């Protein structure tokens, strides 16, 4: 048996390749849209991808299931559970509770585990060449290491009204009737790790076991005591902000993500050609440098998406392909880096990266406005905007600050003053630079607080030390 975890550090998302080495067949669970890792793995192991499936209708990334099935000819399976409102709207084989996919000597059995979403499936994997009992649970967004999938995303991202309470009760039942009935030795392989917004406090370890979670997870005591209401309150308390782009992911994953096929080669643009296109407002420039360099001067009306590593996360906060049809040109030292940027952003449905340039020399420039913490009190402003997560804001913020997270701000511009200066900050400045660049591009007068909240705290401590 082959079982490989393919992990996306950008979105903290895990997909799995499970293969029978005797027959050379494999199934992929929860793939992303850039397919190279799966195709390369199958080629290295001499396997044919025969089946593709997913645990549920995802909210945090655009599923690659259709893309991979189209590229390989594999049979595509999706959940048929969840009721009429939660049926996928594209052609695929439907899996109900107890249905199984056979891959050589392997059996992958679907188990309906609603709560995070109504249609959610987990997959029990049995290696028939070794045992007649399941040894692995691909738990999707049902059970994470040390945490559970949040049940409030349908309210936060899909337009639901108070569905979180029913979802939490469904999670309680799924734990009681499915998860805790499994033997302690069953290995649990979740679809997300630390940093994902699909849970509250996910562990960084790649896997766990049923027995370990039964003994140690925060929720275990509520199940032992049969305290459903206490479980519901504890589960729903303190969940982080859901990013606004989650609504688009939910809708597109339900309808069926567009199949990209082989993307065209990225074009390298010279300064003259790119300048003309920028002046004509035909393209959007993405400055991938660190904020310290951006603050010294960047391309006018550009978006700051620092580096490639978190490109999908940050790009989805500031670029909505359903509302913005101008393509992206990215600053990159070479074509390979630009291609890596494109590979990241297609994971959130941004398919419009067309080219790259190696330098900002010769392009229209602007210098973003920045103030130091000691200038904050004397800077005239219409609003002081905290773009961190809600839980960070509630734990402590600069007096007078209004909260609107970076992952939501571009969808809630009506909550900002129509005129006047906006001073923005996050925790250390990274998210702030991303959000501020998008607000600046949208026409707002934005000033970034240098050092953000950490810098302000340091300044306050220095001032207190002077008094003491």
**75 vs 28, 99, 105, 257, CA distance in Å?**
11, 15, 18, 16
For 370-467, which CATH class? alpha beta
| pLDDT number for residue 410 | 97
Confidence band of 153 (pLDDT split at 50, 70, 90) = confident
pLDDT at 383 over 80: yes
Which burial class, exposed, middle or buried, applies to 38 when counting CB atoms under 10 A from its CB (0-12, 13-18, 19+)?
A: buried
Task: Give which of 123, 121, 124 is closest to 149, Cα–Cα.
Answer: 121
| pLDDT number for residue 204 | 86
Each residue of 204-255: pLDDT tens digit?
899 999 999 999 999 999 999 999 999 999 999 988 889 999 999 999 999 9
Q: At what angle do helices 335-345 and 311-318 cross, to 10 degrees?
A: 60
Helix (H, G, I), strand (E, B) or coil at 292: helix
Structure tokens at 289: 């440098």
CATH level 3 topology of 2-255: Metallo-beta-lactamase; Chain A (3.60.15)
| pLDDT number for residue 347 | 98
Residue 242, Cβ neighbours under 10 Å: how many?
Answer: 24
Cα 96 from Cα 331, distance rounded (Å) = 47
Confidence band of 201 (pLDDT split at 50, 70, 90) = confident
Q: What is the mean pLDDT of residues 44-60?
A: 97
pLDDT at 158 over 80: no
| pLDDT number for residue 388 | 97
Q: What is the mean pLDDT of residues 446-466?
A: 96
| pLDDT number for residue 156 | 77
pLDDT at 154 over 90: no
Can you give the length of the chain in residues?
A: 468
Cα 356 from Cα 335, distance rounded (Å) = 7
**210 vs 137, 190, 215, CA distance in Å?**
9, 12, 9
Share of the chain above pLDDT 70, in %: 100
The answer to whether 120 and 140 are in contact (CB under 8 A) is yes
Residue 467, Cβ neighbours under 10 Å: how many?
Answer: 5
pLDDT at 468 over 90: no
Averaged confidence pLDDT in the chain: 96
Which burial class, exposed, middle or buried, applies to 425 when counting CB atoms under 10 A from its CB (0-12, 13-18, 19+)?
A: buried
Q: What is the mean pLDDT of residues 369-373?
A: 97
Each residue of 397-412: pLDDT tens digit?
999 999 999 999 999 9
| pLDDT number for residue 194 | 85
| pLDDT number for residue 240 | 83
Structure tokens at 331: 């600053």
| pLDDT number for residue 195 | 81
| pLDDT number for residue 155 | 84
CATH level 3 topology of 267-366: Oxidized Rhodanese; domain 1 (3.40.250)
Q: What is the mean pLDDT of residues 350-369?
A: 97
User: In the chain, what is the straight-line distance between the N-terminal and C-terminal CA atoms, in Å?
Assistant: 66
| pLDDT number for residue 358 | 98
Each residue of 107-139: pLDDT tens digit?
999 999 999 999 999 999 999 999 999 999 999
Where in the chain are all domains bearing CATH 3.40.250.10?
A: 267-366, 370-467
Where in the chain are all domains bearing CATH 3.60.15.10?
A: 2-255
């Amino acid at each position: 048996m082959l079982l490989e975890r393919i992990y996306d550090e950008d979105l903290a998302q895990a997909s799995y390749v499970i293969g029978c080495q005797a027959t050379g067949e494999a199934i992929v669970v929860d793939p992303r849209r850039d397919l190279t890792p799966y195709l390369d793995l199958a080629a290295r192991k001499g396997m044919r991808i025969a089946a593709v499936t997913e645990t549920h209708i995802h909210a945090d990334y655009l599923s690659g299931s259709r893309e991979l099935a189209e590229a390989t000819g594999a049979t595509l399976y999706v959940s048929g559970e969840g009721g009429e409102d939660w049926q996928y709207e594209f052609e695929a084989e439907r899996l109900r509770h107890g249905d199984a996919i056979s891959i050589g000597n392997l059996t992958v059995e679907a188990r309906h585990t609603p709560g995070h979403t109504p249609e959610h499936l987990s997959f029990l994997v049995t290696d028939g060449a070794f045992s007649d009992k399941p040894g692995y649970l691909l738990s999707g967004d049902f059970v994470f290491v040390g945490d559970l999938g949040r049940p409030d995303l349908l309210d936060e991202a899909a337009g639901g009204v108070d569905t979180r309470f029913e979802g939490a009760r469904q999670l309680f039942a799924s734990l009681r009737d499915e998860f805790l009935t499994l033997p302690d030795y069953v290995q649990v392989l979740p679809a997300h790790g630390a940093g994902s917004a699909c849970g509250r406090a996910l562990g960084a370890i790649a896997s766990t076991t049923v027995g370990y979670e039964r003994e140690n997870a925060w929720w275990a005591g509520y199940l032992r005591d049969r305290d459903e209401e206490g479980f519901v309150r504890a589960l729903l308390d303190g969940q982080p902000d859901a990013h606004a782009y989650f609504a688009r992911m939910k809708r597109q994953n339900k309808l069926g993500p567009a199949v990209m096929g082989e993307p065209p080669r990225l074009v390298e643009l010279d300064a003259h050609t790119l300048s003309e296109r920028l002046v004509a407002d035909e393209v959007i420039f993405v400055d991938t440098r660190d904020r310290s360099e951006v603050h010294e001067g960047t391309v006018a009306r550009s978006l700051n998406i620092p580096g490639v590593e978190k490109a999908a996360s940050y790009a989805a906060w500031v670029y909505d392909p359903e509302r913005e049809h101008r393509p992206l040109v990215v600053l990159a030292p070479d074509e390979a880096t630009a291609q890596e940027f494109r590979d990241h952003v297609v994971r959130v449905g941004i398919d419009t990266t067309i080219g790259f340039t190696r330098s900002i020399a010769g392009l229209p420039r602007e210098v973003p406005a920045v103030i130091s913490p000691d200038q904050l009190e004397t800077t005239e402003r219409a609003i002081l905007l905290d773009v961190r997560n809600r839980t960070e804001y509630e734990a402590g913020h600069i007096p007078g600050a209004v909260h609107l997270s970076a992952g939501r701000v571009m969808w809630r511009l009506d909550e900002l003053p129509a005129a006047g200066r906006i001073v923005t900050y996050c925790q250390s400045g990274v998210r702030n630079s991303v959000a501020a660049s998008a607000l600046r591009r949208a026409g707002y007068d934005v000033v970034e607080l240098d050092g953000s909240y950490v810098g302000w705290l340091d300044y306050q401590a220095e001032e207190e030390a002077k008094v003491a």
